[in-house]
Amino acid sequence: MFKITPCGVEGCERPAFSLESLCYRHLKDYPERMQKSMQELQAQNIILNRVFDDASLVGLDFSRYRFVGCSFRNVKIQQSMFTGTSLHLCFLDHSSFVSCDFSGSDIDFCSFGTSAFMDCSFENSELIQVNFDGSSLVDCTFSGSNLYNSRFLLCDLNTVSFDNCDFKRAFYIPSKEVKVTFSGSNIAEAVRDLEHLYL
């Protein structure tokens, strides 16, 4: 599991990046150093217990990588590929994902709580026990995915496709939904109101 090391600058409470001793605010040449750290990570197939909180990442290709026990909270990720990527026990809360491809991914026991997704694809993915509570999703697709035991509570959904999805044991109580489609999905199996909670 990741370990939070505070930034080396006295008085700074932000977490330091893995492979560095400072946070993004205090890291000199931040974009270059970040890119270098990412390249070091890309040389590995399994990325274990890393912290990249508050990072801003553009144009990465993490297709078919395996992330375990990592923290990517408050990150901004744009135009990046996570195709066929496996994420287990990872925390990507309060983040922003723009034009990212998670299709064919295997995401298990992870949290994307209160994150914002725009133009992202989770098509044909295994999303088992994934937390999307409080997230905002615009122009996204989950079509063909297994959403077993995942949660979509108080989400703001606009133009989202859940076609051919498996909603078994999923919790689906969004706060706002516009143009959401469920064609061929077993949405009736999802917990959709508070009267059916048995926890």
Which residues sit at the interface with another protein, rule CB under 8 A? 1, 3-4, 15, 53, 69, 73, 89, 91, 93-94, 109-111, 113-114, 129-131, 133-135, 149-151, 153-154, 169, 171, 173, 194-195, 197-199
Given a contact cutoff of 8 angstroms between Cβ atoms, the answer to whether 130 and 105 are in contact is: no
Query: Measured from the CB of residue 151, what is the shortest distance to another protein in angstroms?
Result: 5
By C-beta, is 34 or 107 nearer to another protein? 107
Query: Measured from the CB of residue 71, what is the shortest distance to another protein in angstroms?
Result: 8
Q: Tell me how far CA of residue 195 lies from CA of 148, 174, 199, in angstroms.
A: 20, 15, 11
Which tokens is 173 given? 């109580």
By C-beta, is 91 or 142 nearer to another protein? 91
Query: Measured from the CB of residue 104, what is the shortest distance to another protein in angstroms?
Result: 20
By C-beta, is 28 or 196 nearer to another protein? 196
CA separation for the pair 27, 53 (Å, rounded): 13
Residues contacting residue 179 through CB under 8 Å, at least 6 positions apart: 158, 159, 160
Given a contact cutoff of 8 angstroms between Cβ atoms, the answer to whether 44 and 68 are in contact is: no
By C-beta, is 100 or 130 nearer to another protein? 130
Query: Measured from the CB of residue 72, what is the shortest distance to another protein in angstroms?
Result: 12
Which residue is listed with tokens 């959403």? 147
Query: Measured from the CB of residue 189, what is the shortest distance to another protein in angstroms?
Result: 14
Given a contact cutoff of 8 angstroms between Cβ atoms, the answer to whether 65 and 87 are in contact is: no
By C-beta, is 188 or 197 nearer to another protein? 197
